[in-house]
Every structure is written in structure tokens, then in C-alpha cells.
Chains A and B, each alone.
Chain A
Amino acid sequence: MFFFPGLHVRGRVRLDEATLRRVAELSRLLLSADEEKGIGRDLAEILEKVRQLRAAPSSHEARFWPETRAFQDLREDALRPSLGREALLASAPRRVDDLVEVPFPGEAT
């Protein structure tokens, strides 16, 4: 049986609200109630398709592309010019002194 917390599979695949909220939180996405409903529905539809995978055979190992490289292919430890502070800070929406400003983080590391 295809059982995962948050994923209801009897009949149709459906995501419960708690799971949806958790995923949105992990993704740092703010969804309106409307969007939430819509996306929840879309996700369930897609996951329905995805459920087929269970039936799929598969080779023993996942091959991640591309081919293995040689040690000599690693980057030499040689200095390259920096983009410079102004280039970085010019793009930043907010700055404080020479730092990129962020609103005081409410979360611990």
C-alpha cells in the first residue's frame, strides 16, 4: 500500500492541509487561500500521475549525469578577479554600510 503521512491515496491522491502548509513553509512561499486550494488540487493531480512510478521497473542504480571526471579536471587554486563590492551592493535592495542589509532575523541559526 502506498502510504505516506499527508498523502491520502484511497481513491484519489489528496494532500492534507497540514502537509501543504509545511511544504509552503519549507519553500518560503506565501500562498493565498485561493492559491492554496488551487495548488493543492494541481499537486494532487500531478501526484496522481506520479503514483504510476510505483509500478515502474527501474535499473538498480540511478545514474547521475554526466560522466565521472578526472582529478586533473578540478579547478586550480588560482586567484580570479573579484566582481567587487559595488557590483554586489548595487543590486542589493537594501544596504547598511558595506553590508547587504537584512531585516533582523527572528530565527536562530
Chain B
Amino acid sequence: MTTDLTRLTASALHDLFERGEVSCREITSAHLETIRAHDARYGAYLHVLGEGALQAADEVDRRRLAGEEMGALSGVPVALKDVIVLEGVPATAGSRILEGWIAPYTATAALRLMGGGSPVLGKTNCDEFAMGSSTETSAYFPTRNPRDPERVPGGSSGGSAAAVAAFEAPVALGSETGGSVRQPAAFCGVVGLKPTYGRVSRYGLVAFSSSMDQIGPLGRTVEDTARLLAVIAGRDAHDMTSSPAPVGDYLAELDRSVAGVRFALPDAFLDHAGPALREATENAARALEAAGAQRVEIDLPSLEFALAVYHIVSRAEASSNLARFDGVRYGPGAPADDLLDLYLESRGRGFGREVKRRIMLGTYVLSEGYYDAFYMKAQRVRSLIAEDFERAFRTADVILTPTTPDTAFRLGEKIDDPMAMYAQDIMTLPANLAGIPALSVPVGTSRGLPVGVQVMGRPFEEGLLFRTGRLLETLSGEDRADA
């Protein structure tokens, strides 16, 4: 029975739980068992809750028996990327500078999940401070792609994507700044969403680039992902950037037809993709047309500057957000004779090379004399990119693109070539710049490796993305019961 449980979708598990046929403890236990048995192979988890998860599961069971109504994923345990804090549990953000730190408070998204009846299984591995596209910059160890352990799972939410793909968690939360949920989802063959900026609270999410960061759900199906979003979405009084926009009924929208939906396939994206991804995207387009969707043409002229803009804005914000890691209030600290020593030792030892690289660039673009030409200019061009999308969405309802240029690359292949690594996000980062929602859906494989396509939409129209994604995921004919 235990192996079977982990093969079910989160939606199926939730139903069984609500009907009283399976307890939350059984579900949680089954997943803990799978983690114990398999995670050494993939390294998806940095920290497993074990007994803590079971106790939480028992509480969920108790609540159901008491007749309490919980959320759309009650009974279903979740994994959290280690940039999301949970009280009493270590949080490292994949970095040594937070080694040993136990968070004294809980992120709002996690609170909503637990309140909704989902115990936390553990904290998943990620690129250090979410800076990376392969989970190789984690200070602890790299995570391996369950579909091919010689390859990367993508990043920075590689641990969460791998956990879901390896049946070590039914669903998981990751975080996005430039594609860090969608790209690993595509590489691992699962579904991943970047919500509209402000859709999900950032309170308790270790900040990387404040104007783009969003917590994003991952699942093996579109419905699972939609349920997860339903539980965590909505305004949070703790986060002033969270939006008061009402949360749609995602589940109700799921099965509506895509007939009449206008979609575009801009060359600006296709041109950056390898043949496998181009073909998969065209395929997806045909499937949409067959279902009654209408293909239209759009133009996004400012996209060529997207990478440069993303670099400047994200690194500038990151350089400031990471200034709090100074060895004074938390972290392992460092022996030091004076204050400057303390800063240099703590940050020198605690931060990895990629993080240092980004902080340096960020500090540079904000510094005296460069601020206007770099940072302010980048923000102006960013506005232009956002306006491009706004205009495009008058003609199209969704934009279809490959999620990544290619399928998962090998471990070690790109880690020494920063520019090649950054190019991984070329399809995904425009959505982060514009603040719009974007969903990656697995649509099949190419030479055994998962292929994902992306649908982007207007702000707060996640429902339409799920609807479209629901159709697209049927293209992935493979049997998802095999790891």
C-alpha cells in the first residue's frame, strides 16, 4: 500500500483522505519511507522532518475526525524549498552562512499550507540563495535529476522539482526570481508555476530580488499545482507587496474548454530554443488549435534587452538583501579581531562564488556614478518590457513558448561558464520582469529527457494558464508512474 500512495496524485490523495479511506499519517509515512529509501540517490532534501512530520500528520487526522473543514490539499504532505522558513526547523537557503540556523518564525505560505492540513515533509535543496539554474551552487551538495541522475534537475528549486519527480513528495513549494520553478519543472518533467508578482506572500521567503521573487507551486499534474496555489494565494497583511486582487476559483476553471482562447508563439522565444524544444512547442500549438484555440501574432520588441535588465535589477536588489548576512545576529559567525574582520570572514567563508559574483555586480550597478546609467536605465527598459506584454495581451490571451532552450544538461557541464548558465533563463525571466504569471507543463520527452513548454498570461489570470496547461499535459503520454 505504501508504494502505491506515493504514486497517486495529490488530488487523488486528498480525496482519499477526505473520504476517510487513508489517513494523513499513512500518506506522510509512505513519503518519508520513500525519502529514506531513495533520496541518497538524488539529494533532493537538505532536511527531513521525520517525527515532526508524523506528529503534524496526526494533528491533521485529528482535525478531520473533529469535522473541521480544511483546504484544497488537506491530508497531503508537502516539501518546502529551503528558502522558506519554518519555525523550529533549520533553514539554510543552500548556504553555509546560515548553517545551523533554526528559524524562529514561519513563512505565511507555509502557515497557510499547514493550516490547510498539509504537514511539511522537509526542506529541499536549492542553489545558494536561489542564485543558479542547476542546484549546483548549493553549498551542501548538488541534487540529481531523477529522470537521469547524471544530469541536473535545474535550479534554483532543483530539490523541490526532484522531490516531486521522484515521488518523494506529492507537491512542493519552490521560489522564482528568473525561472527557478519553471526551469527545474521542465527539466524534471513536472508542472511548475510562477504566480503573478504579489499573488503569494513573500513573508518568510529569504529574499533574493524583492521586486521579482515569488513562491511557486510544483506538482506532477496541473490540477495538483492549481490546488497548491489555491491554498497559498491571497493577500497577506505581513507583505505590503502582496496583492489585494481576489483569488480566482482555479479548480472550477480547470476543465473549461480552450476554444476561442487566443495564443501566440513569438519567434523571439522560439529562436533561442534547440530543435527538440522548438518541435515540442509547435506540437503544443497544434494541440491547442485542434482544441479550438486561435493562433495570433504578437510582437515583443524589447525582449532582446531582457537578460541585461534582469541581471542589473536582480543583482542590485540581491546585493542589498544579502547585506544582513554579516555574522552578527545569526549564522555560524567567524573568529574576528575587529568588526571589519567579522564581516569579511563571515561573508568570505559563508558565501559561495556565484553569490559573491552577484553581490559584486549588484553593488557596482548601484554605486555612485553608475546608478543612473545602469540601475535606473534598467528599470526604465523593464517598464518597456512590461508595456510590450500589456500590448501583446490585447491581441493574445496566452503566450506559448518553450520553457528552456534545451533539455537537462549534465552535472558540471555549465558550472564554470556563467554566461552559459545565465542563458538557461532566457525564456523564463521575461515573465519575472513583467510580473506576469507563467506555467511550465511537461509535454513529453526528447531522447528520454523531459521537455516542458511554458504558457504566460495576464496578471492574476492563473486560472486561464491552468486551463491551457490542463490540455497540454495530456500531450505527455508517458506513464508517469515510473521514475
A: which residues have CB within 8 A of B?
Answer: 4-5, 19-20, 22-24, 26-31, 35, 38-39, 42-43, 45-47, 49-50, 52-54, 56-67, 69, 73, 75, 83, 87-88, 90-94, 100, 102-107
Contacts and interface: CB of A to CB of B under 8 A. Distances in A.
B344 A29 contact: yes
A32 B218 CA distance: 39
B387 A69 contact: no
A6 B351 CA distance: 25
B347 A29 contact: yes
B211 interface: yes
Given A42-B418, A62-B382, A91 B328 contact: no
A63 B359 contact: no
Contact of B386 (A39, A53, A63, A94): A63
A28 B364 CA distance: 13
B319 A64 contact: no
A50 B104 contact: no
Do most interface residues of chain B lie in helix, strand or loop, or is the interface mixed? Answer: helix
Nearest to B375: A62
Interface stretch (B15-23, B33-41, B50-58, B330-338): B330-338
Interface in B398-422: 418-419
B5 interface: no
The 8 closest A-B pairs by CB, nearest first: A93-B333, A62-B379, A58-B380, A30-B348, A30-B344, A91-B330, A28-B343, A105-B339
A95 to B, nearest CB: 10
Interface centre among A38, A60, A91 (most CB of B within 10 A): A91
26 contacts: A4-B370, A19-B364, A23-B367, A24-B360, A27-B359, A28-B340, A29-B344, A29-B351, A30-B347, A35-B353, A46-B419, A47-B361, A49-B311, A50-B365, A50-B374, A52-B305, A53-B308, A61-B383, A64-B211, A66-B197, A69-B240, A83-B105, A88-B329, A90-B104, A93-B327, A103-B339
Contact of A29 (B307, B359, B373): B359
B197 A102 contact: no
A43 B339 contact: no
Contacts of A24: 360
Contacts of A106: 338-340
B44 interface: no
B74 interface: no
A87 B359 CA distance: 29
Given A24-B360, A29-B351, A5 B344 contact: no
Contact of A49 (B104, B307, B373): B307
B360 A27 contact: yes
A63 B361 CA distance: 22
Nearest to A58: B380
B241 interface: yes
B344 to A, nearest CB: 4
A93 B348 CA distance: 16
B150 interface: no
B102 interface: yes
Given A54-B377, A65-B435, A90-B102, 8 more contacts: A23-B364, A29-B347, A29-B351, A50-B308, A53-B308, A57-B381, A61-B380, A66-B435
B367 A26 contact: yes
Contacts of A38: 353
Given A29-B351, A103-B338, A91 B329 contact: yes
B86 to A, nearest CB: 15
Given A27-B319, A43-B360, A45-B418, A102 B339 contact: yes
Nearest to B356: A29
B339 A35 contact: no
Contact of A39 (B311, B323, B360): B360
Contact of B356 (A31, A54, A105): A31
B49 interface: no
Interface in B185-234: 197-198, 211
Nearest to A15: B364
Contact of B369 (A4, A49, A94): A4
A23 B243 CA distance: 36
Interface string B371-396: 00110111111111011000000000
A105 B364 CA distance: 25
Contact of B342 (A39, A66, A103): A103
Interface centre among B302, B361, B364 (most CB of A within 10 A): B364
A66 B241 contact: yes
A6 B373 CA distance: 14
Contacts of A104: 338-339
